[in-house]
Structure 1
Amino acid sequence: MKQVIIIITTIVAINMFSMSKAFAESDNNPPTLVSEAAIMIDSKTGRVLYDKNENKQMYPASLTKIATAVYAIETGNLDDIVTVSEKARNAEGTSVYLEEGEQVTLKKLIQGLLINSGNDAGVAIAEHLSGSVKQFSSDINKYLKNVIGVQNTHFENPHGLFDPNHVTTAKDLVKITQYAMKNETFREIFGTKKLKWNGASWDTTLITHHKLMRQIPYKGITGGKTGFVNQSGFTLATTAERKNLSLIVITLNSYIQSAAYNDTTNLLDYGFENFETSSISKGATFSLGEQKYMAPKRIPYTHSLNEQVSKKVIDNGSLEVTNEAGNVIASYPLNKVETEENVVKQEKIKEEIIANKDAKTSSMVGGHFLEFIFMLFITVLSIAGIIYHIRQLVKKVNTSNGG
């Protein structure tokens, strides 16, 4: 009897689990996450589709290497030969086993940095680009702030090993990743699953650490980076694309690795099942009163599936795309269209301005001419008066001499 009860209880539990799972899969609400902070955006538009503690400063661990990689690609020469220093050789944590004095191209170091999370590669990159890790920290922080536009990030090193002052946020990390994914070289390396590695002391095949790219493949994954130090917990950066929707997911500080992956796949499922990216064609026209405007390029906007959106031009000439709840989900500047009617009006205005200017000039010239005639007349009268007085004076003198 006891065994029967156990069996029945087990069957009920399994059925309840299956029902709850089915219910969860059909639920359009965002998932509940284990990770302390997370964010998901559409990479084409930057629209935030999910966030949790997105502005909380946290430790990124090796997600730092996304920033180091794109900075190296954009500011360095990929064909440069880098000589590995003793400090790089002795870097703690994961490595690609570089040897002191070994010469490696900058591109190969970036590959070792992203694919195998080599901390030694990170130090070698920093020293090559800036001369020292300390100077590199200063340089990359300026780059992140001035070029990418992060707000709450400060990096002390190129690899993410713990430092109490080495912090960022989910929002800043997703912005860095979105920026990096626009770079073709970065996308290629970030999405590499395997790479043959021939080093001075290590010949192997590098395999990405991101499990969604290899062990538990997820449809549409285009790249990823993992991270872990005790103080940061498990961190993940993941990019994926299906049809017309491109997503970036950042999760920070999960206490267990499997939870970080579950959070990521749940967010990706939520994104792909509930959102899509539509677009407005280049050259599409819109009106605001009598003024017409045109889209200067293809304009993407991301919205909920089957959601009706409205589009309108506001006073500054920008197009706002609004969802059913009345929220602005996208805003883009448009170009003014010069219609034939507007051109005619502008030509008339120009003609009137020119005519007024000519009339004013003519009036001024006429006025000056009359003034000149008047002054000439006065001068002639004055001269005539002087001549008359001189003649009278001469006449008197002559009369006086004659007496």
Structure 2
Amino acid sequence: MFQKRICTKIVSLLLVIGCLMSEPVLAEKQKEPEAQTLYSKSCAMVDGDSGRLLYGKEAQTALPNASTTKILTCIVAMEQCKPDEVVTFSAKAASQPKVHLGAKKGEQFYMQDLWYGLMLESYNDCAYAIAEHVAGSAEKFAALMNEKAKKIGCTDSHFVTPNGLDAKDEQGEHHTTAYDLCRIMSYCAWKSPVSKQFLEVTQTRSHTFQSLEGTGYAVSNKNALLDMMDHVITGKTGYTSKAGYCYVAALEEGGRHYAIALLACGWPNHKNYKWSDAKTLFQYGMDAYHLYRGSEASMELPEIEIAQGCRKETLEEWATHAKLPVYVDTDITKLTFLKKDGDTAEIKKVLSDPISLPVKKGQTLGRVSYCMNGREIYSGKIKAEVSVKKWSPEKFFQIMWKEALLDK
């Protein structure tokens, strides 16, 4: 009865917010920006920790994204290369259109210096040289980019070029969505093993370096929002005649992490639209959303009673059922959430139906979903703390006989 009750039903606990997280009092509610007041055709803002979409305007519409592509190019290269690796410009790399470093065929640079050219000045030739060095060709590097994007969680992105110039291949045109671009930025800024290195490069205001042949170069950061708005930690601009002005950025304040992406945010004569939209979204995010952390009580799970199970092989502890303690492999106490007034938190626990014996210690028995407004933002696996064997009359009498002999 216990097994049927527990193993065949979804246990959904609607938690009072005070149980899951401590609730601050907001002075006033911040209105969402109205879509028509934003210049971007498509934009998104996400919680940098959970990946939850906090605001969207055509956030999942596929569009070209120009040089915002380079954040993915950079993070793939940083994860696969050392800063002091020597990169040689091929004829193809040296022929990339403006904006470019202007390096000549055969000219050599340390990888780290090309990261600065890539991210501060958005040099197309640096992107191409990096791609060829990492993967052997731009086409093979694009495959690495798409593989990384899928691992990050992107659902509608396809990358063809390392520099974001408009192009297409057999799988389609180079594109992403504002939501996917936010996912990539969140990974670059906070989740990659080289996030610290990524931020160090993208926060640098200016950088000078030389090729191995001795030619000097100087680059300066074109991400003006770094100095226009407090707490902005990184960003990347982009433009092509097809994509329009694009922008992706991250902001961190008081433990809160926000990523925004703007696509098709104006064309020439309107290059400042992106700064306006970026400030509007970030300000809304900081005014409306507050940081919450999971509580230890939220992680408590009752023991599962398993019919026909036993945990011990001694007669006095033998029974026709066993209590199985379980745990969740994701500790909600270490997770953070961004939440505004009116949001509803929910924990859903789903156990396997049925739970078959024997059960091994550490075996997955179900999953837990942590949801906000009905959408999953975190998940974890429910696992067995101990092993449970199947009860049988034959085994019972074997142990009974064994203990009887020991008593003689």
> TM-score under structure 1 normalisation?
0.71
CA contact (8 A) 1:76 1:129 kept: yes
Per-residue deviation at 1:37? 0.7
Give the secondary-structure state (helix, strand or coil) at the position aligned to 2:337. strand
Of 185, 192, 207, 2:220 maps to 207
Distance 2:82 2:199 in 1: 17
1:75–1:322 Cα change, 3 Å: closer
Whole-angstrom CA distance in 1 between matches of 2:57 and 2:401 = 68
Q: Is the Cα–Cα contact under 8 Å of residues 283 and 296 in structure 1 kept in the other structure?
A: no
Aligned residue identity for 1:63: T
- Gaps spanning 5+ residues in structure 1: where? 1-24, 362-403
Structure showing greater radius of gyration is: 1
Q: Equivalents in 2 of 1:320, 1:167: separation in Å?
A: 31
> How many angstroms apart in 2 are the aligned matches of 1:186 and 1:270?
26
Could you tell me how far 1:357 is from its partner in structure 2?
Answer: 5.4
The change in CA–CA distance for 1:355 and 1:163 in structure 2 (over 3 A counts) is same
Contact 2:45–2:179 (8 Å) recurs in 1: no
- Which residue, 106, 117, 128 being the options, matches 2:133? 128
Kindly indicate whether residue 292 of structure 2 is the aligned counterpart of residue 278 of structure 1.
yes
Larger helix proportion of the pair? 1
Task: Describe how 1:163-182 pairs up with structure 2 within 5 A.
Answer: 163-164=167-168, 165-181=173-189, 182=191
Q: 1:271, 1:195 → 2: CA distance?
A: 32
- C-alpha separation in 2, matches of 1:142 and 1:280: 32
Q: How far has the Cα of 1:177 moved from its partner?
A: 1.7
Q: Which residue of 1 aligns with 2:52?
A: 47
Q: 1:360 to 1:278 in 2, by over 3 A?
A: same
Partner of 2:271: 257
| CA distance in 2 between partners of 1:322 and 1:76 (Å) | 37
Contact 2:251–2:259 (Cα < 8 Å) also in 1? yes
Query: Relative to structure 2, which stretch is displaced further, 285-294 or 226-235?
Result: 285-294
**Structure 2 unpaired stretches of 5+:** 1-27, 305-324, 352-365, 403-408
- CA RMSD in angstroms comes to 3.2
| Match 2:340 to one of 304, 307, 328 | 304
Q: Could you tell me whether the CA contact under 8 Å between 1:97 and 1:202 is conserved in 2?
A: no
2-structure distance, mates of 1:312, 1:155: 36
1:327 corresponds to 2:335: no
Assess, with a 3 A threshold, how the Cα gap between structure 1 residues 27 and 91 changes in structure 2: closer, same or farther.
Answer: same
Match of 1:220 among 226, 231, 254: 231
Determine the structure 2 residue equivalent to 1:377.
none
Distance change >3 Å, CA 144–CA 346, structure 1 → 2: closer
Contact map agreement 1:318 1:331 (CA 8 A) in 2: no
Q: 2:29·2:288 contact (CA, 8 Å) conserved in 1?
A: no
In the alignment, which of 206, 209, 213 is matched to residue 194 of structure 1?
A: 206
Listed one character per residue, the Cα deviations across residues 55-92 of structure 1 (whole Å, up to 9, x for unaligned) are 22211110111111111112233321111122222210
**Cα distance in structure 2, aligned partners of 1:84 and 1:204:** 15
Cα contact 2:154–2:183 (8 A) shared by 1? yes
Q: Which has the higher contact order (CA 8 A, sep 6+)?
A: 2
Matched, 1:268 2:274: no
Aligned partners of 1:150, 1:143: CA distance in 2, in Å? 9
- Aligned-partner Cα distance in 1 for 2:100–2:62: 27
Question: What SS is found at the alignment partner of 1:112?
Answer: helix
How far 1:191 moved relative to its partner?
Answer: 2.6
CA apart distance, 1:289: 7.5
Matched, 1:148 2:152: yes
Deviation at 1:249, TM superposition (A): 0.4
Distance 1:191 1:272 in 2: 21
Task: Tell me the equivalent position of 1:355.
Answer: 396
Q: Which amino acid aligns with 2:157?
A: T
Query: Does the aligned pair in 2 maintain the 1:288–1:313 contact within 8 Å?
Result: no
SS at match of 1:265: helix
Structure 1 counterpart SS, 2:300 = strand
Q: What is the CA distance between 1:350 and its match in structure 2?
A: 6.3
**CA deviation profile, 1:164-217 (whole Å, cap 9, x unmatched):** 522222122122222222232222223322222334586354221111113xx2
Which amino acid is 1:198 matched to? Answer: Q
CA 142–287 in structure 1, closer or farther in 2 if over 3 Å, else same: closer
Counterpart residue number, 2:19: none
Inter-partner Cα distance in structure 1 for 2:283 and 2:394: 63
Contact conserved, 1:286 with 1:312, CA < 8 A, in 2?
no
- Any conservation in 2 of the 1:99–1:201 contact (CA below 8 Å)? no
Q: Percent identity?
A: 25
Q: For 1:56 and 1:360, locate their aligned partners in 2 and report how far apart those are by CA, in whole Å.
A: 71
Indicate if the aligned counterparts of 2:46 and 2:179 stay in contact, CA closer than 8 A: no
Change (3 A) 1:86 1:282: farther
> How many residues are treated as equivalent by the alignment?
325
Tell me which of 38, 41, 45 is aligned to 2:43.
38
Query: 1:180, 1:118 → 2: CA distance?
Result: 19
Hey, what does 1:401 align to over in structure 2? none
Q: Is the 8 A contact 2:89 2:106 kept in 1?
A: yes
CA distance in 1: counterparts of 2:381 and 2:137, whole angstroms: 46
Q: Is the 8 A contact 2:102 2:125 kept in 1?
A: yes
Cα distance in 2 for residues equivalent to 1:240 and 1:60: 20
Moved more, 350-359 or 74-83: 350-359
- SS state at 2:279 partner: helix
Residue 41 of structure 1 and its aligned partner are, at CA, apart by: 0.3
Closer, same or farther: CA 281–115 of 1 in aligned 2, 3 Å: farther
What is the identity, as a one-letter code, of the residue corresponding to 2:98? Answer: G
Residues 68 and 346 (structure 1), Cα distance of their counterparts in 2 relative to 1, 3 Å cut:
closer
Equivalent in the alignment of 2:31: 28
2:82 equivalent to 1:112: no
Contact 1:98 1:201 in 2 (8 A): no
- Provide the residue aligned with 1:314 in structure 2: 349
